[in-house]
Amino acid sequence: MESMQQYIEQAAELVSTAERIIVFTGAGVSTESGIPDFRGPDGIWRKYDPEDFTIDKFLSDSKVRKMHWDFLTTGGLNLTQAQPNPAHYAVAELEKMGKLYGVVTQNVDGLHQKAGVSENMVFQLHGDLSHAKCLSCTKRYPMEEIIEWMKKDIDEPKCGECSGMLKPDAVFFGEQLPWGVLMESEKRSRSCDLCIVLGSSLVVYPAALIPRYAHQGGAKLIIINMGPTELDRMADIRIDAKAGEVTPKIIEMAKAKMRAR
């Protein structure tokens, strides 16, 4: 059984020679920023029913909509205050090193962009929670604005233009993923030379196809996750550790290897 240090060294070697790296992230990359994941020990699905997060329930049940708006503003998931952690900054370093071919994320927290990854290098498969959209006239509102409205104790925010129903920009269960984002993510994952998975159980599709496409395309696969994932047997290197702890070490060691060449 190899030691953690050996795994970090092997991963650094792959990063140092790769030219087109796809980083695939899930909720586990943001838990060290104080945002709960979904299926870990303190995950959201241990407190909330995923059934209440389907698009049908949101559209048909005003009580569910109220729960959502409370959850997103005053409740569990007010993301506007969250800050990137060392894992997000390590991923941003890859872009500075000229090695990043894209960050394909399932997260809706916008922390990769906050850590400095260029907007056009982040592919948000499940949308994001920075805005909400009117389902009638499609006007978009920054979430900060809605949080202010909710402080005035309204039950459910409505569109200021047409009083239509507002919906957070994240993709709900039962909704189509943004087609262009998915196609571009697939194209890049099939032609990358290294895919690094950070903090995902890899159980939700089609998102979890991304590391598979990379593997099928001949890329090396590194999985950094606390606890098992669905694709562990496919990984060239599997590190069971906190992303915020090991990812910066891997990037720093890769830089040292590149300087020594």
The residues annotated with a catalytic role in the active site are 126
DSSP code for 173: B
* Partner from Zn ion, ligand APR, none contacting 242, C-beta within 5 to 8 A by type: ligand APR
* Per-position DSSP letters for 9-53, written without gaps between them: HHHHHHHHH-SSEEEEE-GGGTGGGT---SSSTT-GGGTS-GGGG
Q: Residue type at 149?
A: W
State yes or no: residue 225 binds ligand APR (CB under 6 A): yes
State yes or no: residue 32 binds ligand APR (CB under 6 A): yes
Region binding ligand APR by CB under 6 A among candidate stretches 9-17, 131-139, 152-160, 220-228: 220-228
State yes or no: residue 39 binds ligand APR (CB under 6 A): yes
State yes or no: residue 185 binds ligand APR (CB under 6 A): no
State yes or no: residue 135 binds Zn ion (CB under 5 A): no
Cα dist from 25 to 29, 69, 255, whole Å: 6, 25, 22
H helical segments located in the chain: 4-17, 55-60, 62-72, 86-96, 111-114, 143-151, 179-190, 209-216, 243-260
Nearer to ligand APR, 43 or 164 (CB): 43
State yes or no: residue 113 binds ligand APR (CB under 6 A): no
Residues forming contacts to ligand APR in the complex (CB under 6 A) are 26-28, 31-32, 37-40, 43, 106, 126, 199-201, 203-204, 225-227, 242-244
